[in-house]
Structure 1
Amino acid sequence: AGLLGCAPERLFFGPGATYWLNALLNGWLPPGGRVLVSALEHNAVMRPLRHLARRLGLEVEVLAGEPGGALDPSTVRRATRARSTDLVVIAHASNVSGLVQPVEEIARAIAPVPLLVDGAQAAGARPFAFDDSAVAAYVTSAHKGLLGPPGLGLLLLTEGRRLSPLLRGGTGSHSESEEMPEAWPDALEAGTPNAVGIAGLGAALEWIEGQGLETLSRRSSSLACEVRERLGEVPGLRLHGLRPVDEAVAIVAFTVEGEDSGELAAWLDRNWGLALRAGLHCAPAAHRCLGTFPAGTLRASFGPLATAADARRLVEALVARLEDRHR
């Protein structure tokens, strides 16, 4: 809670970020409602919304942003004022390009319309203080920037916001009643908690706090910037998704002319010990926005344990691959 700037009584644990996104979208959107989303959303947002659009007659509107999907707070504000809007959903950082959206400014610009932020790619990768942000709800995973185990998701809720539980069941409290308790966190945490995952997350957060989140963030971002700069000079290789003015987490998205991204990822793993993610990254909307659909991209993500040697090896490997093709 401290690392994310949220009061402990308004932080909830669940089986994953996808679970909490489904809970919020199902709980907050009324039949016939209108929801605005960025062009870079993950399928953890878009698939529930497409389902709810069919079931409830929701209007799902994709906001037109700058090249690469960047949103200006005034653009989002105008869209919310054009017609009645029930919710705005924005990824804090794109899992495809790394682009960071100004969610704090957007939340203030669109008030009183609530902003739901998918923070899976941003939490732990950059400083964020939820209670100072005006964001209505913030959802993230334990296993990405927070360095915890998989199978655990976190929900941060603003004081005064309510949410009906998506699941109901035993809580270990008020067991005399067959109704869900109203008190938090029990009202939203039915079933056996993932105690092992929570303990693992706690240990990871202690390490992050000991190292310093800002220090780790600067180190990872510096590596990504170095790789972007060097790859930008390589003929036949194209970077995707970011302008020089854009803020970003430590992700580099690229394609290589004439190369299948999946085959190239396998080659990098097999020959250089480098693990990159290829394809559409569960975010086809983002790839449509970036012009990389349906082939997708290769994504290099630099975590806090990545080194300058790793960054140099990636550039060296890609240069070697392209040189071999031209011999």
Structure 2
Amino acid sequence: MKMYVMRRGSLVGSLLSGLLLIGLTGCGYKNDPVAPQALVPAPINDLRYELTDKGAVLHWSYPTRTVGGEELTEIDSFMLYRAEVASGSYCETCPIPFGSPIKIDGGLIPEREGRRSASYEIGLLRPAHQYFFKVHSRTGWLTPSADSNQVNFTWETPPAIPQDLVAEVGSNIISLQWQPVSSYLDGSTADNIKYQVSRRVGKGSFKNVGSLLTQPEFMDTQVSGGHEYTYRVQALSDYDGDMVAGEFGKPFKVEVVDLIAPATPENVTTARTAASVKIFWDQGTEADLAGYRIYRRLGNEDDPVMIGEVQMPYTIYEDTEAPDENIYVYYSVSSFDKSDPANESERSAEVEGE
């Protein structure tokens, strides 16, 4: 009988070879694996904030390319980091104690020109504390970007709400006044208060007008007749260069009535034909000019009578009912604007129809 003896070393080698063969044939790859670094978004570099009466709002743009320059079509999510430090204990050389991140859903990146933006409202802020923020983006759980630019601000109690806004309407001017703000929302005395006026034209959206004011008054000269304007005012306080904004006060609506007529038409002339008299004049230059009215007076009459009206941009009128050339006839022209009712200018000097 023959006996076959396998040495211990040969057995171990065979087992290792078998395991290696299984590993190579069972990895599941059909193509070369993609390195996660090729999917890492470039860092966000435009993180910014605006302070409100409730806290702050953070804004940033979606990254559009990876760190390697490849175009991105979607961001899976953002990770927002926040740190809170009491103003009196802040150390510029100490590490910032960022807490666990807040996950914010991402989305598709549009192919059209322009960049998609993300926003996040920050609440539950404590007075006399500094807040620090940074954000990461990622295309998957293994592909977070590097830190964005970091932003920070000091939060304090906002000013009280401006009260008793009133307006006085003049000729293409609106003057606003309101009670000065002298306290914060918690009732403590406020100083270094500034004001921002916001305006809405018709049914449009509110937009800030003018710069920050130190006095509770504002004169708006960028108005025109026939329009409705709505105003509101908020108070702001300056904390180490950050403007903490209070809530807007109650809106006040006013309507500007245009009482200014266009200029009187100049260089009125006439030309008689076999069947009519044509009247000519120079074009006006007012932005709200709507048209012209033509007047006729016979030689034996005291007052002229309006015989027609033409709309912009025409500066000619043909009087087909003019008397024959044996009767003296005189013409004058006025201009009118787009107001309702329209403002009409003085009539021009009369010229004879000849």
Same fold (TM over 0.5): no
Name the TM tier (shorter chain).
Answer: under 0.3
TM-score normalised by structure 2 residue count? 0.19
Of Structure 1 and Structure 2, the greater helix share is in 1
Question: Which structure has more RCO (C-alpha within 8 Å, separation ≥ 6)?
Answer: 1
